[in-house]
Amino acid sequence: MAIYNFAAGPAVLPREVLLQAQQELLDWNGSGVSVMEMSHRGKEYMSIQAQAEADLRELMGIPKHYKVLFLQGGATAQFAMIPLNLLRGKQSVDIVNTGIWSEKAIKEARKFCHVNEVASGADRNFTYVPDLKRWKLDKDAAYVHYTTNETIGGVEFNWVPEVGNVPLVADMSSNILSRPCDVSQFGLIYAGAQKNIGPAGVTVVIVREDLVGLADPRLPTMLDYKTHADNDSMYNTPPTYGIYIAGLVFQWLKRQGGVAAMEQVNIAKARLLYEVIDGSGGFYSCPVYKADRSRMNVPFKTRDAALDTEFLKQADARGLLQLKGHKLAGGMRASIYNAMPLSGVRALADFMREFAKSKG
């Protein structure tokens, strides 16, 4: 029986990547040692990290005047590091609130400055992306922050906000590399690795050079982007094995045809599930407005909570794992990141139709 892991994160990794890591576990490239045992300042590991950065730059078309940092602390640490580094003497920041992760960013930023909540989806229980025309932007804000995809609510931006000369900051933790992205539109992009990049423990930060080095000099050394930019993410020991796996994922993505090709697969996967939901005659429902539905995280419920429990039990028996919705949302959630094969989504769609037929 095929097993498909729909976990929201840490999430499924490409099978090819896991097999390669398995083969190289004890001896990387004839070095005689595992990547986990290497000195992070040795030529073997440094070549791994340099290649990972080069491949990420190629995949995303990252301009030369942007730094790529491999950090720790998850996206959660960035909620504090961003205002600490990007305030540059200003008193407030603009943040768009589209759900749980936006709210966490707001809460942390408020420890350091005034937060102008420029728009919010709270009025409709975070089931949509507020229209840009409704945003109350401040031209004097230090930056504008938004979450490109809310993993819990299943709300995704299918457009990039135009915010003038104010730096645009994006939490792309759950949809980075799933669609083409013009990095030059952003001042800073950050993403925890554990959804579309690799295992938990690595955080990627892509930051425009002119935004580096302007933090308060009293800022702790490890919280200053300049520290990591000046030391090629090796001021301290980086999460070496996680970066190695991320590098393998980047190489796998290149073999798939790159980000543009991956986007077409992601569109097809998401369409399969939403067509089942919308065509179920009300047996299944998704609360998100159609224009703002996520390609990465598909939340849904049956018409009865008791049926949700039965659905999850039967899905698990079919090898369709980790479909239980977040505790704040209930129901089910299918996370279909880059590494989820089309065959897995087809298997889930087939089961959903069978379940609806048997219980409808």
Catalytic residue annotation: 101, 171, 195
Non-local CB neighbours of 62 within 8 Å, separated by 6+ positions: 56, 68, 183, 206
Distance from C-alpha of 243 to C-alpha of 21, rounded to nearest angstrom: 12
Which DSSP state fits 293? B
Non-local CB neighbours of 58 within 8 Å, separated by 6+ positions: 254
Query: What order do you get walking across the sheet with 92-97 strand by strand?
Result: 66-71, 203-208, 188-192, 168-171, 144-147, 92-97, 114-120
Distance from C-alpha of 254 to C-alpha of 24, rounded to nearest angstrom: 20
Pairing assessment for the beta strands 332-335 and 114-120 based on DSSP bridges: unpaired
Is residue 17 within 8 Å of residue 52, measured between CB atoms? no
Tokens at residue 332, please? 């089910």
Length of the chain: 360
Which residue in 309, 303, 300 sits closest to 348, CA to CA? Answer: 300
Q: Count other C-beta atoms under 10 Å from residue 64's C-beta.
A: 7
Please list the helix, strand and coil fractions of the chain in percent, rounded to the nearest 5, in that order: 40, 15, 45
What is the maximum span of the chain, computed from C-alpha positions, in angstroms? 65
Give bridge partners of residue 69 from the DSSP assignment: 205
Give bridge partners of residue 96 from the DSSP assignment: 119
Element (H, E) at 311: helix 305-317
Tokens at residue 97, please? 């609130």
Distance from C-alpha of 329 to C-alpha of 10, rounded to nearest angstrom: 19
